[in-house]
Every structure is written in structure tokens, then in C-alpha cells.
Structure 1
Amino acid sequence: MDQLVEHGYVIVPNFLASAQCSIIFDYARELPAGAWQQAGIGRADQYTTNTAVRQDKIRWLSPALAVERDYLQMMEHLRELINRELFMGLFDYECHLAHYPPGSFYRKHLDAFKGRSNRILTTVFYLNPEWQATDGGELVIYGDHGEVLETVLPQAGKLVLFLSDRFVHEVLPGQRDRFSITGWYRLNASIGGVIDPTR
């Protein structure tokens, strides 16, 4: 919590034990091709796919399935903890599995623009066992002047949290299939009971 307040981001190397990571990793790896969709950029009526910018495939998590529900419940507990400690007013959470085939990437981007999104805090959780530096696929987090703040290997059990509207970041190409869960804690910007913006 202190690091999140001081720096606006935090990297937690062993957020989950390897046995728990393996359950989610095996689940993601064994999903049929039809369970994934090509990831896009933008939201609602601005949503589009552009493989020159982003090449991963995604699957939104749902509480209807046990493995997905367990992860969502864990992140709900984290939301309650962050709100209790930091009074951030985080209202809900959405997340998806992400699969980056070898060579795929996601160019530099922000997850939210100030005043134009209810996404407040981004989470990235990695599922990849025995990932080495030679495998690539790093998350690069940039500072206000374009300097590299962190280069994060996507190793199993590692959780990264950062302020969604502050840090430009990118995913570099990897040499292996790379799996993660990316999510966002959001404020309540609903109108008439409808969360805005929609996915």
C-alpha cells in the first residue's frame, strides 16, 4: 500500500502461490479457440480492432465458472482492502484473460484518460511458469517524460498494480505463449444502474 501511494504503482512478486497459478494457467491454456476473441482498443462505440497496435486475444472473466469466479473473489477482497486502507472508493472490477502468441505485442498506451474513464487502478497478474529473460514479453512502464520506470518479466505469481490514467505502458513481443489476467478497478460512474462506459 505504501509503494502504491508513493510511486503510483507496485509490483508484488509472489501474490499467489505457484500451485494456484498453475490451476489458472492450465485452465487458460486448455480453453478452446472459440473461447477467445481478438482484443481491441477503445470502448463502447469507439471500440475497434487494430493488430498494428495490439495483437493479443482475450476472454472476459465471469463468476459463472469456478476458476474464473475464484480469481474474481480474490480480487474483490483486494478491492475491499485497498478501499479500507487508501479510501480510493473503488466500486467494481472487470478483467480478462490475455493470450499473447509468440511475437505478438501491445504498443504504448494509457488505460484511461483523465476525466474520461471510470477506470482507476489497473491490475496485471501473470500466469507463466519458468519464464526467463530470454523469453521476452516484458511489460514496460514509462514515466512522465518517457523514461523507463520498470521492465517487468511476466513470471507466474507476479501482480502489478498502477494508476490507470497516469502510466503509459506497453507489452513487448515474446518468444513463447504468454498468459496473464488484466483488470481494472473502477469508480461508480453509472447512470440509471448502467455502468458507464461499457466494455
Structure 2
Amino acid sequence: MNFLSMIFDDVINNPLPDDLPEVLLPAFSRLEPFALLLKDLHTKGWSIQDDFFSDAFTDKLMEEVRGIQNESMLQAGVGRKQGHQVVLDARRDYIKWIDPINETRKTFLDEMEALRVVLNRQFFLGLFDFEAHFARYEKGAFYEKHMDAFKGQSNRILSTVLYLNEDWQEGDGGELVIYDEQDADRELGRFLPKKGRLAVFLSEDFYHEVKVAKRTRHSIAGWFRVNNTTAKTLDPDQ
């Protein structure tokens, strides 16, 4: 049983809050966009949701990342702040952190903020904020098996990946593989990075990897975080 189940065993029987801002709803593909996601997190600690956002809004996000030249992106690395390193044997994607510089990016961040509010109400996680970046995996790029956080050493609690790719087919590679929290060698599933698919999982519990992409692959990776700032240490972001 994952820790969400232990914290709030009967949460899924409670109704979703009815005071979410109505302006956010058009970007979602259904009126209660969080219900299935919450149920999965409650029962198994990870979730794959297809068509989480509307087709039109996902297209807008794809337009955003397509408009970014590689020269304007960072070669993704391993570690954060002073510990950050570019390790091409581990990962080969390019990233661009998302700030609310236009309506599309602001809407995405606002909607993930709405999800943060619901997660805190339902599971009492104390999530403080959400950070995200566009990710581009060109042909041949990958990300080896890893965990987004290690217990007691990170402020990342929930990881999210939203896929933006049109017409992704079997054989195109780039699958997300999620491994069992009790057995890191056992696959729980392989998921194509198809348009509109959202993956969410506990950052400290699940190893995962990105298989070699056979064509250019775009996504948005994000993390819901707690604030670990102390009197001696400032909690890092990005």
C-alpha cells in the first residue's frame, strides 16, 4: 500500500471541490478532470490518463515547444543546482523551463495549480508549488532508468509528464517505462508518448526510463514540490 492510501484511506469517496475557477475548465477534456487520476494515486501511486487536456489546448502547447530552437534550450543533465551535470550516457534530451510569459503557458501552469490544490485537499500532501519544462528528445535520445527523487533528499513529491506528439506509432520508440516500487527490475507498463497522455507518479517510489526515440518526441515534464527551506538552507528550484 503506498503512502497516499495510508494517509487518507477513504478519500476517493469524497466529492471533488466545486469551487475551482470555471475559467480553467475549457482546457480540460472532461468536467471532472481529476477523478480518475486521484483514484489511481490513492490505490497504486501512479496513473496514466489519456486525453487529460483538450485536443485544442494540447495543440497550443505543441506549437509552443515547436517554436523553440535547440539553441534556446538547455542540454538536460542529472542533479540540481551545484550538483547539476550533463551526462550524455544517462540522458540526451533538451529542456526549456516554463514561465508564464504568454497565455498558453500561463494557462497550463494555472491548471496544474488547480490540480495542486485538489491534491492537497484530498491527500494533505503539503505541496508548495509546481515546476515544469518542455522536453525535446531528438532521434536517438533517451533517459536511462532513474528516480526523480530519493527519500529524504528532495522536495519533489509527484512527477508528471504530458505528451504532445501527434500520430505516435508502435515502433517510434520513446516509451515511458514505469517499474514496480517493490522490484525495480519488474515493469509495471510501457506507455507510448502519444498526444494528450498524462503520466503521474510518486517521485520517491518509482524508477522509470525513456526508451530510445526513433523520431523527435516532445513532452512537458513537471514536479509538484514541498518547501524544504530551513533557517540554514534555501530550498532549491529547477
TM range, normalised to the smaller chain? over 0.9
* SS of residue matched to 1:51: coil
User: What residue in structure 2 maps to residue 81 of structure 1?
Assistant: 118
Aligned match of 2:200 in 147, 161, 182? 161
Letter in 2 for 1:173: V
Q: Which has the larger radius of gyration?
A: 2
The answer to which structure, 1 or 2, has the higher relative contact order (CA under 8 A, 6+ apart) is 1
Pairs aligned (count): 199
* Structure showing the higher strand proportion among its residues: 1
RMSD: 1.5
Long gaps (5+) in structure 2:
1-37
Shift in Å, 1:195: 5.1
Long gaps (5+) in structure 1:
none
User: What residue in structure 2 maps to residue 147 of structure 1?
Assistant: 186
Mapped contact 2:70–2:94 kept (Cα < 8 A): no
Identity %: 42
Decide whether aligned partners of structure 1 residues 195 and 62 sit closer, same or farther in structure 2, where only a CA change above 3 A counts. Answer: farther
Mapped contact 1:188–1:195 kept (Cα < 8 A): no
Decide whether aligned partners of structure 1 residues 122 and 195 sit closer, same or farther in structure 2, where only a CA change above 3 A counts. Answer: farther
Letter in 2 for 1:59: K
Shift in Å, 1:28: 0.6
Deviations 1:77-113 (CA, angstroms, capped at 9, x unpaired): 1111111122211110111000000110000000000
Structure 1 length-normalised TM: 0.95
Runs of 4+ in 1 over 3 A off after TM superposition: none
Deviations 1:126-148 (CA, angstroms, capped at 9, x unpaired): 00011111211100001121100
Mapped contact 2:145–2:207 kept (Cα < 8 A): yes
Aligned match of 1:35 in 72, 79, 91? 72
Mapped contact 1:108–1:168 kept (Cα < 8 A): yes
Separation in 2, partners of 1:112, 1:126: 21
Decide whether aligned partners of structure 1 residues 2 and 195 sit closer, same or farther in structure 2, where only a CA change above 3 A counts. Answer: farther
Structure 2 length-normalised TM: 0.80
